[in-house]
Amino acid sequence: MGAANWLALLLTHPLEFRTLIQFYLYHEQKRDIAAIKEHPTSGWDRDSMRRCWEFLDMTSRSFSAVIKELEGDLARTIALFYLVLRGLDTIEDDMTIPDEVKQPLLRSFHVHTVTPGWKFDGSGPNEKDRQLLVEYDTVVEEVNRLNPEYKSIIIDIALKMETGMADYAHKAATTGTIYLETIAEYDLYCHYVAGLVGEGLSRIFSASQKESPILGDQLEISNSMGLLLQKTNIIRDYREDVDDHRYFWPREIWGRKEYGFTEMHQMSATDPDTVQRATYAQSGMVLDALRHTTDALDYLRMLKNQSVFNFCAIPATMAIATLELCFMNKEMFQRNIKIRKAEAAKARPSFFFELIMRSTNPREVGLVFREFARKIHAKAVPSDPNFILISIACGKIETWCEHHYPSFVHFNNETGKQSLEPSDARTGIVMREQALDAQLAKKKRVEDLRNGITATSGSQVEKLENRNLSTGELMMFVGAVFALMFAMGAGVIYTVVKVVGDQ
């Protein structure tokens, strides 16, 4: 953030300026990839990898920050994974490349990614990530240095993704069809461009042994995590995409008869009737994205490594916040809208502080999702054809939170102890169950006493049974047995002799 931007923020949003200062003061950087001790895993000591880190900053500042804080070689691996897919996406998005040139480029990209010296300078001059492809040989060099398991995952995902992208690009170029028609087609497209990213990340996390091996097999919820992020971006970027003649909203949603649109660009009109119908179509898009939220929350609950969790949780919380920002927001059709990093939030002094600092554990992320789901529901209007379904979708997030983290159970972060909400009816049920358990335990102790068995004697017997005797103790025990047997035998012989002598 440049000095001019800081000054503008100070003058226009002084409270947000203060909260951003607080964040930068109190948010401690977890890892410095340029530090000498990090060179073996970050590769910062190599010119080629240092250039790759620069490309990461150039192509995505938001992802760059969380990628760099991943532990060990995960940061370098995920950075290269991102750059490979960014290069592929740049070719797919470039409308200046003819289909006959684009098709072989896309379908062979997984081969180019491991071909030393390969690079591409045929992108249009206005493509923002053109330079990445111009120097792609640098990425190739570093991909070939990766652990073979990591490398095979990246190449496999690139192969699957390039196939899907090439199919859609060819369809658009040869049939003249510029729209995704059905929700199923929309899901498939998002799977190719984002769901596969979720699959690849899960497999890489498992391969690193920082997460459970079973995570790499969770394809459905990995896909849902990717679809939630991708669909959120597609909703938010309506104006930018329409201006560039890219149409990703499926006709099955925006083309419903009650909305009255035959072309997507018609939603940009500013008359009140069109604005209302456009927000209803937008509501349908948000509804479709919300169906992936509980899968995303389930995915986050599976993660154990803190740096991996932060990497996945921060984009997820940003997604639900963006959906709430877009929902029923007529300005979205007139301009690109994005959340300012320090936009005010009711529950916390800063929106950015809220998302970053709370995205540290599944419970807090669940609560963030619930808060934004409630905001979405509060903005829903009964005249919206999606009103009931929006209410149900928000209710599913509420249900998920209540199931995993009941609201009547309070957790004190300072003491690490839990307490129950006295006014909640469920507290009374828990208290009665605890009282019943205590009565049953007391009754059992009384019965044990009557039977001559006390808890103390029982524990002593158990200790004796479980005790491991040393060799010396064992020899003493055996010797004592033999001595007893000898004494008993000698006593018997003495008695017999005495009796015979008396006769």
Q: Are 344 and 358 in contact (CB under 8 A)?
A: no
- Give the position of tokens 């619930």: 370
* Residue length of the chain: 503
Q: Is 236 a catalytic residue?
A: yes
Strand partners, 411: 418
Residue 246 annotated among the catalytic residues of the structure: yes
215-220 long-range contacts, CB within 8 A, separation 24+: 215/302, 215/303, 218/299, 218/302, 220/295
Q: Give the Cα separation of 281 and 268 in Å (integer).
A: 12
């320090």: which residue's tokens?
342
- Beta-carbon count within 10 A of 302 CB: 18
Nearest Cα residue to 254 out of 240, 243, 272, 268: 268
Mark whether 205 is an active-site residue.
Answer: no
Catalytic: which of 311, 327, 333, 353?
311
* Contact in structure between 85 and 78 (CB atoms under 8 Å): no
Could you give the 3-state DSSP secondary structure of residue 411?
Answer: strand
Residue 409 is given by DSSP the state: E
CA contacts within 13 A on the Cβ side of 428: 3
Long-range contacts formed by 334-341: CB under 8 A, 24+ apart = 334/239, 334/268, 334/270, 335/239, 336/236, 336/237, 336/239, 336/240, 337/236, 338/236, 340/13, 340/16, 341/20
* CA trace torsion 320, 324, 329, 333 (10° rounding): 0
Q: Which of 203, 236, 251, 358 is catalytic?
A: 236
Mark residue 348 as left, alpha or beta (left: phi above 0; alpha: psi -120 to 50; beta: remaining): beta
| Per annotation, catalytic residue among 189, 192, 247, 327 | 189
Active-site residue, 351 included: no
Burial environment of residue 473 by CB neighbours within 10 A (0 to 12, 13 to 18, 19 or more)? exposed
Active site residues: 189, 236, 246, 311
